[in-house]
Amino acid sequence: GKLRIVWDAAAEWAGTSLNSALLTGPDLTCSLVAILLRFRERRVGLGGDIKEMFHQVRIRPEDHFSQCFYWFDEKGETATYVMQVMTFGACCSPSSAQFVKNKNARRFAATHPEAVNAITDAHYVDDLLISVDTPLQAIQLAKDVQYIHKQGGFHIRNWVSTSREVREQLGEEECNSIEVVEGKSEKVLGLWWDTKNDVFTFKVRSPAEDATLLAGTRKPTKREVLRLLMRIFDPLGLVAVLLSPLKMLLQEVWRAGNGWDDTLPDDIIPRWEEWLQVLPKVANLKIPRQYFDRSAEATTQLHTFVDASENGIAAACYLRSNDGQCTLVAGKTKVAPLRFTSIPRMELNAAVLGARLTRSVKDALSIRIDSKTLWTDSRNVLFWINSDSRRYSQYVGHRVDTLLECTDAREWRWVPSKLNPADDATKWTGEMDVSSNCRWLRGPQFLRECPDKWPANPVPAPTSEEIRSCFLGAHTHTEPIVDTTRFSSWTRLVRAVCYVKRFISNCK
């Protein structure tokens, strides 16, 4: 493998380290999720990476001696050297490298606007991922990006594409797959792109010592369950329907008070074994990279489904064309809080999750979204959205305000639970469909039909759930029998009150 030098700039001497004297700088890294969402928009996918990006940025000569290190000279004796470029390990390197890369690119905004946008908006650290409509556009874009990077001292290479023509023009050998991960290739599991078939696949890899664990021949510990969950890298939530039951199972183990190295309780083992039977199906999963072919005059809609149960919440966002094509864009799941939360409140939290996911997806995509629709099977949520939020408890009121900030009340519709694809991620039945044509990935059947056949949107029925309590105070004023302002002495006042009380008593 390649030898990489990493500098421990956090190492302290006399209580001080190099990183403690450096500013981290702003986070200029583009969102990985946004890049992947845009990467699926068009027909031809294109990727590349910058060679040794940090080492292409020089530092000022007066700062060289802040990066001294010992190494062997030609005679084999120890000598002192200095690094004249940015290093892996310095906390300012990521921000500084991104700033230099973007500043170099913006010099060419007038002559190469598309390439500049690709460099500033489609690079995740040193990796470029973008999609275009034709191979000719991909070739021209790659050459322009290569030219601009070269003017700043960067060298972008390892080009990959779904088009053989693009690979040949860029002089790269045929490559069947590239690992698209957050960080470097040492991640065990990531999102894999099969360039030959232009699909995303998932590869479940595990150390040899986990073979018996995945075979179900021994009970796992809480640590091993969490380790397996974190190995499956799914930034877009494409297999969230598979990971959600494992998150719920892990939370039950947490509630049981098990230690990290304690085996799972016996009552949870059957669910663990059911989940293991579904896991191998992920290896056969093939998800098209491109959402679908779109004509210039086609309209595009965004449909988000939300659902909740006592164990968790889920949201699934789909892209639909006016000719009935539909595919999953992104999904998101969360487990329920450790404290008990009512189902209506969980449904409201799911609606907030879906509204935020919809806004994030719409902001990330570069294609035009003509309309958006959000679907829920909770009539309580629909009634709250169409009511005055001040009538309800703070918990409900704040979340309804959040929903109305992200969406419009007219964009919400009702869907039966049996037609809600988000229901698959919140209710674990043991019979999970993880195929490439499953409802979670393709969306419900009615979205592939004309809108006249969609579920009817009933008028939300009034509900008394979460109505804010009102307290009414009453005050009665009565005139005193004895006017205390006429007395200047406490003794005389007491004597007069006693005479009055005795008179009243005698009258009875």
pTM: 0.85
Give me the pLDDT at residue 331, please.
96
The CA distance from 366 to 354, in Å, is 20
Q: From residue 319, how far is each of 67, 133, 448 by CA, in Å?
A: 50, 18, 11
Distance CA 463, CA 51 (A): 61
One DSSP character per residue, 122-178 reads SEETTEEEEEESSHHHHHHHHHHHHHHHHHTT--EEEEEES-HHHHHHTTPPP-SEE
pLDDT by residue for the chain (508 residues), tens only, comes to: 567 777 888 888 888 999 999 999 999 999 999 999 999 999 999 999 999 899 999 999 998 888 888 888 888 889 998 999 998 889 999 999 999 999 999 999 999 999 999 999 999 988 999 999 999 999 999 999 999 999 999 999 989 888 989 988 887 654 445 555 443 332 333 578 888 888 988 877 666 657 777 777 888 899 989 988 888 889 999 999 999 999 999 999 998 888 999 999 989 999 898 888 888 888 888 999 999 887 767 889 999 999 999 999 999 999 999 888 999 999 999 999 989 999 999 999 999 999 999 999 999 999 999 999 999 999 999 999 998 888 888 999 999 999 999 999 999 999 999 999 999 999 877 677 778 888 999 999 999 999 999 998 887 777 778 777 766 777 777 777 778 888 888 988 888 888 888 888 888 7
Of 247, 219, 221, the residue nearest 234 (C-alpha): 247
Residue 189: per-residue pLDDT: 33
Query: In the numeric block, which tokens belong to residue 16?
Result: 């001080």
Q: How far apart are CA 425 and CA 333, in angstroms?
A: 7
H-helix segments, 216-369: 222-231, 240-255, 269-278, 343-364
Spell out the long-range contacts of 364-370 with Cβ–Cβ below 8 A and sequence spacing 24 or more.
364/31, 364/33, 364/34, 364/37, 364/38, 365/37, 365/38, 365/41, 365/329, 366/38, 366/41, 367/41, 367/294, 367/300, 368/300, 369/300, 369/301, 369/302, 370/299, 370/300, 370/301
How many CB atoms within 10 Å of residue 25? 14
> Which of the 8 DSSP states describes residue 267?
T
Cα separation, 61 vs 99, in Å, equals 19
Residue 293 DSSP class:
-
Q: SS3 of 355, please?
A: helix
- pLDDT value, residue 181: 46
Q: What's the CATH code, domain 18-159?
A: 3.30.70
Which residue ranges make up each domain of the chain? 18-159, 199-288, 300-453
CB 44 within 8 A of CB 137: yes
Asked whether 347 and 380 are in contact (CB, 8 A), the reply is yes
Look at residue 101 in the predicted model and tell me its pLDDT. 96
Confirm whether 18-159 and 300-453 share one CATH topology. Answer: no
Residue 482 region by backbone torsions, left for phi larger than 0, else alpha for psi between -120 and 50, else beta:
beta
CATH superfamily of 300-453: Ribonuclease H-like superfamily/Ribonuclease H (3.30.420.10)
State the pLDDT at residue 185.
Answer: 31
Question: How, if at all, do strands 312-321 and 199-201 pair?
Answer: unpaired
For residues 362 and 354, what is the distance between their CA atoms, to the nearest angstrom?
12
Tokens of 313: 């919440």
One-letter amino acid at 218 equals R
What is the side-by-side order of every strand in the sheet holding 300-308? Answer: 326-335, 312-321, 300-308, 371-376, 412-414
Tokens representing 223 are 């640590």
